[in-house]
């Protein structure tokens, strides 16, 4: 396995962890309880969400490092930190770098969410969706061997990325529809709960 291959494999692992982290976060946003629902076991989803976030950030940080030792196409530290002048596919690599910085920002601020306050932390936490979108584009458009070849959409690695992308998209849409239903229910409920005396007095 070459250094470029190793970097690619680590990147796929980071993407899988980020996908899992986002799915767990969406479950938390709808107050999912694994004890009442499937699998009917006591699981600390919040703790699992936090740890997958920490591990995803660490793996994503490690993802470009093997390129420093690549024999065919070696990257400099500055080209890893800001790959606008990378020796191959600079735009695709730059998107990956921006996504990485967003993930690190979200993870670090989550550690200090109590000190920051819920509103400020939540606003920054939404950047995880932007990071995921950039990671997906980076992973789909980048040639795993950095040869700038056309994208093979049926390649096994690309199919893995496509599945992760579809999972996050489907889960996000389901979360949005769930929020719309709850908002509609809240608009209807106050009218149903008004005291009968108030209804009679208005008549």
| Eight-state DSSP code of residue 34 | T
Quick check: is 172 in a domain? no
Quick check: is 193 in a domain? no
pLDDT digits (tens, 9 = 90+) for 92-129: 999 999 999 999 999 999 989 889 998 999 999 999 99
The answer on pLDDT for 203 being more than 70 is: no
Quick check: is 197 in a domain? no
Helix (H) or strand (E) holding 196: helix 196-202
Structural domains of the chain, count: 1
Quick check: is 76 in a domain? yes
Residue 195's pLDDT is what? 54
Spatial contact of 135 and 106, defined as CB atoms under 8 Å apart: no
Quick check: is 177 in a domain? no
**Torsion over CA: 7, 13, 14, 16 (sign):** positive
Quick check: is 190 in a domain? no
Quick check: is 105 in a domain? yes
pTM of the model: 0.87
- Measured distance CA(88)–CA(73) in Å, rounded: 8
Spatial contact of 75 and 86, defined as CB atoms under 8 Å apart: yes
Expressed as residue numbers, the domain containing 144 is: 3-165
Quick check: is 22 in a domain? yes
């Amino acid at each position: 396995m070459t250094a470029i291959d190793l970097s690619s494999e680590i990147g796929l692992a980071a993407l899988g962890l980020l996908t899992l982290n986002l799915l767990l976060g969406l479950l938390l946003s709808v107050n999912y309880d694994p004890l009442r629902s499937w699998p009917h076991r006591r699981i600390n989803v919040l703790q699992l969400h936090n740890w997958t976030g920490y591990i995803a950030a660490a793996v994503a940080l490690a993802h470009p490092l093997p390129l420093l030792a690549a024999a065919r196409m070696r990257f400099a530290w500055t080209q890893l930190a800001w790959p606008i002048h990378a020796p191959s596919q600079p735009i695709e690599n730059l998107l990956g770098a921006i996504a990485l910085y967003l993930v690190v920002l979200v993870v670090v601020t989550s550690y200090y969410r109590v000190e920051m306050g819920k509103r400020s932390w939540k606003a920054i936490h939404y950047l995880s969706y932007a990071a995921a979108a950039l990671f997906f584009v980076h992973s789909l458009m980048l040639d795993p061997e950095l040869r700038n070849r056309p994208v093979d959409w049926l390649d096994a690695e690309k199919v893995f990325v496509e599945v992760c992308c579809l999972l996050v998209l489907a889960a996000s849409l389901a979360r949005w529809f769930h929020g719309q239903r709850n908002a509609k229910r809240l608009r209807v409920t106050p009218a149903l709960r008004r005291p009968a005396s108030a209804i009679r007095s208005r008549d």
